Amino acid sequence: MLSDFYGNNLTTTTGLARDNYDVGLKAFLSANYGAEQAFSLAVEADPNFSLAYAGLVRAHMAAGNLKAAASALITAKKMVNGATEREKSHIYCIELLTSGKSKEAREAVYKHLLEWPRDALVAQINTSVFGLIGFSGQIGRENDLLDFTEMLLPHYAEDWWMMSMHAISLCETGQTIASMELMEKSLDLNPRNANAAHFFAHILYEENEVEAGRDYLHAWMPSYDRRSILHGHLSWHEALWALQDGDETKMWATIDSSVSPEKGTSLPLNALTDTAAIYYRAELAGYKVDTKRWSRLSEYAVQNFPNMGQSFADVHASLSHAMAGNDEYLQKYIEGKNGFAGDVIPFIAKAWKAIAKGEWLIAAQELAPNIDDFERFGGSRAQRDLLEFTYVNVLLRAGDTKKAKNVLLRRRPKFSQTAPIKLLGKI
Ligand SMILES: [Fe+2]
């Protein structure tokens, strides 16, 4: 029987199908463009290869082709009869994932991995900050992610992908030095793993190494295909460091060419959240953001996230609506409750509304009781700094400088002297 890159048996006898499956698997796990084509070639070589259709589902989803993903899933299920128990369970996990049953999918992934821990494409569903643990909405989800990758790591030996996934978990639980050591090993094995490069950038962000971060991405990005899933988000990191460095020209050039929805290649979740975050962080730092930018982003949020429910998107959609003066849509977030952190979103939306009006005391009152729930929205610590620094800024604007500095020192100590907030006098 043929097997994949991780030694899992595959129900195909066609070498070319297996080889293309592995190309797709590696492209997908390293966040590089090409997975759709590779899985397509795999099913072309063996039209009965059900797991290759399952790979195609994931690759289509990552490319934002949801209709094609749904169609590939139907074919995967049609072909599943002669497949192994692992392949059947793998396809079941994907079916739950695509149906939006996140809790059930997360639990099915755990169960699947107890029997087949080296099924990396299934493990991937729960890993990193945008996975199903990252978006569980639970307090402690960062530690849950660390537990998850720690459980899997011994099964993967010297594998570049799993090393990078565990290094991400370490980074997001404050273990930046251990994370860097492991990520360097991972990058030695595969320097073009964009997940590793991405979180190497996060490690540098967490250490507040602005110049080193800019240099790193400046060297790494030119050979990263613009069509790859992380191109827009890595550009966000570049723009953010340009902001911190006072390089406004580079910041806007990067936003306009690669981050914002107009020209960037990000999936809607990243296009919305990264653009909203960099706009508001630019405002915090003292840069002027044209109201037309906010209006365009608010319209984009209406089109792509018309309903409340993805709480990480909702934090940023409500920000965009507040800054654009789109009260009709902002009100939906103030009155709604849907989503994995839907109980907290109304407070954040009310805070954005108050901030847009310059009502700083009201904004402080809305944010203060909820700061320990910020983790529940998902995303990385770097992304969450939108809320951390907003809260500090609100306190400064409300005249509570002592509390503002204490909050920063306690919650983001690496940035206590250098947070890019104009009122701190650091820009
Ligand atoms: Fe990031």
* Domain ranges within the chain, ordered by starting residue: 15-126, 127-207, 230-424
Q: How confident is the model at residue 146 (pLDDT cuts 50, 70, 90)?
A: very high
Instruction: Say how far apart CA 41 and CA 35 lie, in whole Å.
Output: 10
Q: Which residues contact 110 (CB under 8 A, 6 or more apart)?
A: 126, 148
Mean pLDDT of 314-341: 97
Give the pLDDT of residue 249: 98
Indicate the CATH number of 127-207 among 1.10.10, 1.20.1630, 1.20.1070, 1.25.40. Answer: 1.25.40
pLDDT of 14 > 70? The answer is yes
Is it the case that residue 383 has pLDDT exceeding 70?
A: yes
Six-digit token string for 77: 């299920």
* CATH superfamily assigned to domain 15-126: Tetratricopeptide repeat domain (1.25.40.10)
Q: Contact at 8 Å (CB) between 285 and 420?
A: yes
Q: Ligand 1 center to residue 333 CA distance, Å? A: 25
* Number of Cα atoms under 13 Å in the Cβ half of residue 163: 22
Query: What are the structure tokens assigned to 324, written together?
Result: 């654009």
Distance 330 CA to ligand 1 centre (A): 26
- pLDDT band for position 325 (50/70/90)? very high
Residue 76 above 90 pLDDT?
A: yes
Q: Are residues 319 and 276 in contact, defined by beta-carbon separation less than 8 angstroms?
A: yes
CA of 213 to the centre of ligand 1 (A): 12
Distant-in-sequence contacts of 279-283, Cβ < 8 A, 24+ apart: 279/323, 280/319, 280/323, 280/386, 280/390, 281/240, 281/243, 281/385, 281/386, 281/389, 281/420, 282/243, 282/251
Residue that the structure tokens 């920063």 belong to: 408
pLDDT at 425 exceeding the cut of 90: no
Hey, CA dihedral for 186, 383, 340, 364, is it positive or negative? positive
Distance 190 CA to ligand 1 centre (A): 19
How far separated are the first and last CA of the chain, in Å rounded?
61
The reply to whether domains 15-126 and 127-207 share a CATH topology is yes
Average pLDDT of the residues of the chain? 97
Q: How far is the CA of 362 from the centre of ligand 1 (A)?
A: 31
Question: For 241-296, how does the pLDDT look when each residue is reduced to its tens digit (9 = 90+)?
Answer: 999 999 999 999 999 999 999 999 999 999 999 999 999 999 999 999 999 999 99
In this structure, are residues 224 and 234 in contact, taking their beta carbons and an 8 Å threshold? Answer: yes
Give pLDDT tens digits for 21-56.
Answer: 999 999 999 999 999 999 999 999 999 999 999 999
Cα-to-centroid distance, 5 and ligand 1 (Å): 27
Tell how far the Cα of 273 is from the centroid of ligand 1, in angstroms: 11
Does residue 77 surpass a pLDDT of 80? yes
Tokens of 322: 């507040």
The Å distance, Cα 13 to ligand 1 centre, comes to 40
pLDDT band at 427 (very low <50, low <70, confident <90, very high): very low
- The predicted model gives 312-339 an average pLDDT of 98
Angle, CA of 148, 153 and 155, to the nearest 5°: 115
